[in-house]
Structure 1
Amino acid sequence: MKKLFSPALIAAAALSALATSAYAENPMVGGAPMFADKNIVENAVNSKDHTTLVAAVKAAGLVETLQGPGPFTVFAPTNAAFDALPAGTVETLLKPENKDQLTRILTCHVVGAEAFANDINKMIADDEGEHPVKTVGGCTFTAKHDGDKITITDENGSVATVTIADVDQSNGVIHVIDKVLLPKM
């Protein structure tokens, strides 16, 4: 009987299936696949829901940092979250003279550790319902539950909900949120 498949072909097919299934576990964001072997910036630039965030990261000079080894947890506001800010806010923040303020706001969306939803849920439970989240920008936000969703309350009392959790990256994890988190100014 003639062999239809060589062991090498079977092994290659198995590896391909494993690679595909690993990618399939990551949620789509902004209509784009997110790949666990790409860094935060490499994935974010493909999301049509995060063009404002990407422009802000570039304007703040944070691209190289977010391409670094991390690990990082990024709470990534959508375009709609930026659009909900008062008229003219984004345009003003993107001006070169406001780079420091923009950098502070953006780095208040970044934690210097990798925390998936299960990790955050455990921290909230361990802290009896509210967990302080210290960011690389010097902000302290509060993680809580709203039903089965994770929420993040900023220093001004505004509440963002995690709408897409656990977007695995080579240098951390992204959680998509529906509001821009703002530090006390």
Structure 2
Amino acid sequence: MADLLETAVNAGTFNTLVKAAEAANLIEILKSPGSFTLFAPNDQAFANLPEGTLDSLLQDIPKLKKIVAYHIVSGDVRSDDLVQINEAATLEGSIVAIESADGKFKVNNANVLKTDILTDNGVIHIIDGVLMPAMVAGS
């Protein structure tokens, strides 16, 4: 089985996320042996950001690092776990809200499109939006 990074690269629908993780120097976390959960915005989620947002983030590495880290949770959190929790602490340091209803999940305002893509070092859940930590969103 591949790690989080290889799985994201091989899927072919996370090119922007991988580019952002590389720019933010977070590739090692996605390759490390620890167990992580990645709420992975697909390329369409990044494309839906207001025009110029991504370019501006790629120029502001500290902010970009906070945003990418906000999509990563320590531990292997699968859909069975998502049903039982209403928040999760991210590597960025703040919390994402988890909502579960009718077999569907939301992370903050993003819909979870697919759950439980297993990797060697964790699990990926595909989301349709880019999560913004409050301190970044407000700046």
The TM-score, its normalising length taken from structure 1, stands at 0.71
Pairwise CA RMSD: 1.0
Work out which structure has the larger RCO, using CA pairs closer than 8 Å and 6 or more positions apart in sequence: 2
Decide which structure has the larger Cα Rg and report it.
1
Please, which runs of 5 or more residues in structure 2 have no aligned partner? none
Pair 1:66-2:34 in alignment: no
Residue 132 of structure 1 deviates from its aligned partner by 1.7
Uncovered stretches (5+) of structure 1, i.e. residues with no partner: 1-36, 124-130, 154-158
Cα distance between partner residues in 1 of 2:5 and 2:97: 25
From 157, 168, 173, give the equivalent of 2:123.
173
Q: Which residue of 2 aligns with 1:151?
A: 106
Give the secondary-structure state (helix, strand or coil) at the position aligned to 1:182. coil
Choose which of 68, 78, 96 in structure 2 pairs with 1:141. 96
* CA apart distance, 1:104: 0.2
Counting matched residue pairs gives 135
Q: Percent identity?
A: 37
Among 87, 90, 99, the alignment partner of 1:132 is 87
Map of 1:10-159 to 2, 5 A cutoff? 37-95=1-59, 98-123=60-85, 131-153=86-108, 159=109
SS at match of 2:84: helix
2:119 is aligned with 1:164:
no
